[in-house]
Amino acid sequence: MTASAPIQDRRAHRIAVIYDTGVRPDTMGEHCRRALEEMGITISHFLPKEVQEIPRIYDLYLRVDDDLDYALPAELHPLAYWAIDTHRGYLGRLPHARAADFVFCAQQNGAGRMRRDGIRAHWLPCACDPRMHRRIPGAVKEHDIAFVGHATPANAARYDVLQSIRRRYPRAFVGQAYGDDMARVYSASRLTFNWSLADDVNMRVFEATACGSLLLTNDLTENGQDLLFTPGTHLVTYRDLEELWPLIDRYLRDEATRERMAEAGMRHAHARHTYRQRMTDLLRVVFEGMSLDASYPIADHEPRAASREGTAGERAGARAWGRGMSPESPDPGSRSFAARPAVSIIIPTFNKLGLTQQCVASIREYTDIPHELLIVDNGSSDGTAAWARAEGLGVIANEENLGFPRACNQGMLAADGAYLLLLNNDTVVSPGWLELLVAHAEGDPTAGLVGPSTNFAVSCQKVPARYASRDEFLTFAAQLSRTEAGAAVPVTRLVGLCLLIPRRVVQAVGLLDERFGLGNFEDDDYCLRVRMAGFRLLWAKDVFIHHEGHQSFRELGEGFQRILDTNERLFREKWDLTRYFGSGNGQPPEASAWDLLRGGRYAEAYDAFERLARVQPRDARALVGLGLAAEGRGVPAAAALAYRAALVVDPQAAGAARGLARTTGEVEEFLESVEWVGPNHRGEGGR
């Protein structure tokens, strides 16, 4: 390898790209991998858990920041590190930068700070992928303004602004979307919106602009945004809320100016700010020794409000994430990558404030790992939302009772944890409960849901329990934890009173089905969907949680039974597979599914192929279609599951092999395992 080798001659080189895919499906690492592959370079992707097994055969090892703190083997050289979110968790990223041979920062001020700390860092901004971030032809402008991203109460300032947008503009979109769905949301919006948490020129600036709708973003001149986009030509900036509202109203009215600027911004993003261009610049630094300072200059001055203890944004983020953490938890400002808690605990509430207070008190007393607490209140009349705000908890307050599934979904969309935990407010947890649940999930890569033992549940999780006081409850829980230490039993069903869900499962399976209204049977439905996606349900026998049982539903009296009857009927109708034979128009259901796929209607195609797979679980072609639809939706984790299932049914399924290679690169290893496992290993087995 020579320092002067031109970029076009580098196709023979091999690059190992290291990043996680479990937190979200469209990471910076994924964009980098695709861009390098487009350039004809041989790429291997390694997950954090695989770093010790990375062969020492590559010409470059590229670590793309994924918000996880892990060490790489010291002998991986040359090593390039692209630090993305230096505006939060800077000190945690510093050791990774010191260990690298080449350092790049997505934020201009982050690169400047690293240079002051003695590291030769380059500013390499975020970018867009024109294949994914583009205007969808024929999209109807159904949203006045759209914000795609986390709308969590923990980030109080941004959350309050987004709530104001929802109130002022009823046709606004606020929520998460990935891949093709993100492009559809942006394309269907007159305006798009960005509120940076800590003066960061984030991915949203590039992605929203690239989708062809005018972006309104806070003024980030001090962090170099005006060097990337020209305000008033490619996008619109605001300095404060007094400027924001008139700007939104102005550009909603002025369609001609709005669309002209949106078109200019999209063309500029596709021409100047793509991941392929970023990877070209990175490789020129690594292999040709060039500097990026001419293209992406780094300011010499000290960033505003910076200090040895961290930037103002980092300190504000630490304070925000401290809400809901137990008093004994480490100071979030002192932890690496503090902006993401390990677990987001989501508690839907409807009155019963006393029980909620009891539940939260037990969490604070008996939970040691970093977490956030989100209360989703369904129109309580007893002051639940006000109490939760006064306690510093994250709060989503609905004006009416939207039901348990809807409240859980709101919480999951707002949550930032690597694990999501749905918890009834009529529960009391015991010492070590969350650590044990997470340990079981991390100990089994196939774990989809993990649930505890309890005193009240219509399932195997109910264990004989007698206690009449808090002390007796704690004694019983401790004894059970000792006698069942380490026991996690695969089961076919878990009740929804306490469910730990890895984020990757939500990305693969989706949210709870809101057709079940106020609640009941949504947990049965979710368990079935999780199992069908190839995950296991684990009963953590060594964790005990007290459950009062049906406290909110008791207020409904006889109406509770009607809800049970209705939801049981809905559940049976949903899973009555015979109704999926035929499409009602004489066309075979498979033909309809492929037509939807060819038409780019990926969400509908996914549902259609999923129905086919339930009816014909050994139809490899339908499973390949399911994988293609999942790829179209921008969810490679779900696509990989479908392709693996197809290869188990038919190891010669070329479409599945190509799909698995695209999404994971692991097809050869997987096919080798299929040869000895045999085609029937997808039976219920130990599930």
Give the Å distances, CA to CA, from 438 to 366, 435, 497, 543. Answer: 14, 5, 16, 11
CA end-to-end span of the chain, whole Å?
Answer: 50
| Partners of 393 in beta bridges | none
Q: What is the pTM of this model?
A: 0.48
Q: Give the per-residue pLDDT at 156.
A: 75
Predicted local confidence at residue 658, as pLDDT: 78
610's enclosing H/E stretch is helix 602-615
Using alpha carbons, select from 261, 309, 249, 237 the residue that is nearest to residue 90.
309
Q: Are 326 and 363 spatial neighbours (Cβ–Cβ below 8 Å)? A: yes
Phi, psi values for residue 69, rounded to 5°: -105, 105
Among candidate residues 273, 291, 288, the one with its CA nearest the CA of residue 13:
288
Instruction: List the strands of the sheet with 143-148, edge to edge.
Output: 173-175, 143-148, 189-194, 214-218, 236-238
Specify the pLDDT at position 322: 29
Integer Cα distance of 621 and 609 in angstroms: 10
Are the C-beta atoms of residues 551 and 426 closer than 8 Å to each other?
yes
DSSP state of 301: S
Alpha-carbon distance values, 274 to 279, 611, 631 (Å): 9, 37, 21
β-strands 14-18, 488-491: how paired? unpaired
Q: Which long-range contacts (CB under 8 A, 24 or more apart) does 31-35 make?
A: 31/127, 31/129, 31/275, 32/62, 32/64, 32/82, 32/275, 32/278, 32/279, 34/129, 34/131, 34/275, 35/129, 35/274, 35/275, 35/276, 35/278, 35/279
Question: What residue ranges of the chain have pLDDT lower than 50?
Answer: 1-11, 301-340, 553-554, 577-588, 667-687
Q: What is the pLDDT of residue 559?
A: 59
- Which pLDDT value is given to residue 665? 56
**Cα–Cα distance between 218 and 240 in angstroms, integer?**
8
Residues 6+ apart with CB under 8 A from 8: none
Residue 574, pLDDT score: 66
134's CB contacts (< 8 A; 6+ apart) are 183, 210, 211, 212, 266, 270
Judged on CB neighbours under 10 Å (0-12, 13-18, 19+), 477 is: buried
Helices 620-632, 602-615: crossing angle, 10 deg rounding: 160
DSSP-assigned beta bridge partners for residue 179: none
